[in-house]
Amino acid sequence: MLPAMTRVVGLTGGIGTGKSTVARLLVRLGAVVIDSDAVVRELQAPGTPMLAELARAFGPEIVRPDRSLDRARLGEIAFADPEARRRLGEITHPAVGREVLRRLEAARAAGAPLVIVDNPLLFEGRARRARSDPAEEAIVVYAPAETQIARQCARDGVTREFARQRLAAQLPIDEKRALATWLIDNSGTLADTERQVRALHAKLTASC
């Protein structure tokens, strides 16, 4: 169990909601942020056991000539096929969960008052991890689905159809919103988002 002095809060949202922006703002305010996506990238680096297992499961075409993972190709395969998505989760989730918990223990040992676990699939995986999930509170970064689609198209150069496929692979943002302990509405300006994040950080650290 984590001691009372360390508050652990989940951070989630959806593709295109601006979760990474909120995470960066929280880091600036002094929170320790454990980025699950960054952990995934480290575990899938060239030469890692996970990358080798992914190549066996999804084919050598997901590995580029420089031996790095072609994330776009893997995403095309996973988002188009529920069975492929399930297999991808089986390969990645257990190892990522172990590494996130290791980093959480390190932050606790260092006396961090607030740790944010940034996980885009926080609610999708919660039932599976219920016994080991350290974050009982959750911040949801919200933007309407149409805004999510528009941001993906502008940022990633994907089609609206592919953007919709990505959204369909996640819990709908309105359902995540209903599950939130804390909500950051990122459908407006950056200044408005920053104001909300500062106010929330003050609440979360008031008793630390």
Note the pLDDT tens digit of each residue in 35-85.
999 999 999 999 999 999 999 999 999 999 999 999 989 988 988 888 999
Domain membership flag for residue 115: yes
User: Which residue range forms the structural domain that includes residue 177?
Assistant: 7-205
- Decide if 184 is inside a domain: yes
| Residue 157 pLDDT grade (very low, low, confident, very high; cuts 50, 70, 90) | confident
Does any domain span residue 26? yes
Most confident of 85-89, 162-166, 204-208: 85-89
Question: DSSP labels for 111-136?
Answer: T-SEEEEE-TTHHHHHHHHTTT----
Average pLDDT of span 129-155? 80
Task: Note whether residue 152 is domain-resident.
Answer: yes
CATH number for position 164: 3.40.50.300
2 occurs within a structural domain: no
Beta-sheet strands, E only, within 136-181: 137-142
pLDDT tops 60 at residue 161? yes
Closest CA to 180 of 142, 145, 153: 142
Instruction: Give me the residue label for tokens 């997901």.
Output: 62
Average pLDDT over residues 158-169: 86
Distance between CA 117 and CA 120 in Å, rounded? Answer: 10
Q: Is the dihedral of CA 26, 29, 32, 37 positive or negative?
A: positive
User: For the chain, how many structural domains are there in total?
Assistant: 1
